[in-house]
Amino acid sequence: MGNGAGISTPMLDDLKAAGFDILARNHAEAILAHDFPGELEMLCRVIAEFRISLDEIVRGGGGEAGLTQRLRHELSDLNWRKHNFSIETVVDGRARAGVSHEVDHVKFSEAGALALEIEWNNKDPFFDRDLENFQRLHALSAISVGVIVTRGASMQEAFLDRITEWMRAEGLTSEDDLDRLEIAARTVAQRKAIADQVERGVPFADAFARKFVADKFGQATTHWSKLEDRVQRGVGNPCPLLLIGLPAAILV
């Protein structure tokens, strides 16, 4: 099936212009523009207005709490809610073992259903789970389009410089400052790795930022290039897909 690249929608064009990574596959843009224009406008508006503070990222240890939870709550308030699709096979009137597929955000409408997952910072095999889940649900006509939101390429690339700048601005010069700033506890191995860099002349803020970014946002986590690679290989086909990468521009 084609990837739908010939269709363009103003809302997605606005996100692209703002630096978001956008990739639509299997005619997802055409389906969204024709059958789900209101839902697409709503989603693009929420995504465009979303902001993440570096303070949250560092103090939260890179995890999701306080970050994408705000985005999740906004979507839930707009009826993009968690849903468990329960599938049961019946043979000759007798039910066989059923299966279920849980999706974090589903928006139902008269035209069908949109399924959305936010992958802020999981291990990258979670993309396989999401895409294969969408594939199965689409094959059963349970969803029309699958949407994944993750860290974009520009955000992934900017993390080290932006987090280092934040730590320098906060006057990070020692382990004591980490405690002062209520940054999550470090393991013995992490402390040693940072101390080794400092001994070689690397400023503490820079050494800590390097270790923090490598541990929390490494290449084996969920970010744009890992998602794009899978989709280009056909994972999730033939489900229509809309992929959105959050850009560095939303870091504040």
**Per-residue model confidence as pLDDT tens digits over 177-217:** 877 777 776 778 888 888 899 999 999 999 989 988 998 89
Give the number of C-alpha atoms closer than 13 A to the C-alpha of residue 35, restricted to the C-beta side.
Answer: 18
Alpha-carbon distance of 178 to 208, in angstroms, equals: 9
Q: Is the pLDDT of residue 148 over 60?
A: yes
Among candidates 108, 64, 63, which has minimal Cα distance to 82? 108
Tell me what pLDDT residue 90 has: 76
Average pLDDT of the chain, as a whole number: 89
Contact at 8 Å (CB) between 156 and 223? Answer: yes
Residue 73 — very low, low, confident or very high, per pLDDT cuts 50/70/90? very high
CATH 3.40.50.2300 fits 19-82+104-252, yes or no: no
Contacts of 72 (CB under 8 A, 6+ apart): 104, 105, 118
Alpha-carbon distance of 231 to 22, in angstroms, equals: 12
Tell me what pLDDT residue 24 has: 96
User: Percent of the chain at pLDDT above 90?
Assistant: 65
